[in-house]
Amino acid sequence: MKEYEEIRHSLIDMLEDLDDKLAKITHDVKEPLDKDFEEQATQAENDEVLDGLGNAARTEIEMVKQALDRLDKGQYGLCQVCGQPISKERLKAIPYSSMCIKCASQAGC
Ligand SMILES: [Zn+2]
C-alpha cells in the first residue's frame, strides 16, 4: 500500500536521524574530563543531561523499530492495547505511536 510505504520511509528517516543523534550524544559523553575541578563539575552535569538525552533517544529508537515491525506484520496503526485503529491525526503527529489516544491517556503518556 502506497500510504504505508510513505510511513515506512518516514520511520526509516526518523531512525537514521535518531541513530545520528545518539552517536553524537554518546561520543560527547566519552570526552575526557577537564583537569580543572570547576570544569569537571560542569562536565559531570552535562554528562547527566547527555545521559538523559541518550536514554530518550534510545527509547525513541525502540519505538520506531517496533512501529516498523508492526508495519511488516500488517498491524501498523492499530492500538496495541484495545486493537482499535489509531486516528490518522495521531499517527501523523507521532508516526510510531502504539496506542490509540484513549489508551494512551489512560496509560498516562
Ligand atoms: Zn486503545
Cα of 87 vs centre of ligand 1, distance in Å, is 10
Instruction: Enumerate residues with CB within 5 Å of ligand 1 (an ion).
Output: 79, 81-82, 100, 103
> Contact 96/14 with Cβ under 8 angstroms?
yes
Cα of 101 vs centre of ligand 1, distance in Å, is 7
Q: Phi-psi region for residue 99, left (φ > 0), alpha (ψ -120 to 50) or beta?
A: beta
pLDDT the model gives residue 11: 96
pLDDT the model gives residue 9: 95
Q: Phi-psi region for residue 74, left (φ > 0), alpha (ψ -120 to 50) or beta?
A: left
Cα of 66 vs centre of ligand 1, distance in Å, is 16
Cα of 23 vs centre of ligand 1, distance in Å, is 34
pLDDT the model gives residue 67: 97
pLDDT tens column, 19-72? 999 998 887 655 665 667 677 777 788 888 888 989 999 999 999 999 999 999
Question: Global pTM?
Answer: 0.77
Which cell goes with 108?
Answer: 498516562
Residues 6+ positions from 15 with CB-CB distance below 8 Å: 61, 64, 65, 68
Cα of 85 vs centre of ligand 1, distance in Å, is 8
Cα of 75 vs centre of ligand 1, distance in Å, is 13
Task: Give yes or no for residue 2 having a pLDDT over 80.
Answer: no
Q: How far apart are alpha carbons 23 and 62 in whole angstroms?
A: 15
pLDDT the model gives residue 35: 63
CB atoms within 10 A of CB 18: 20
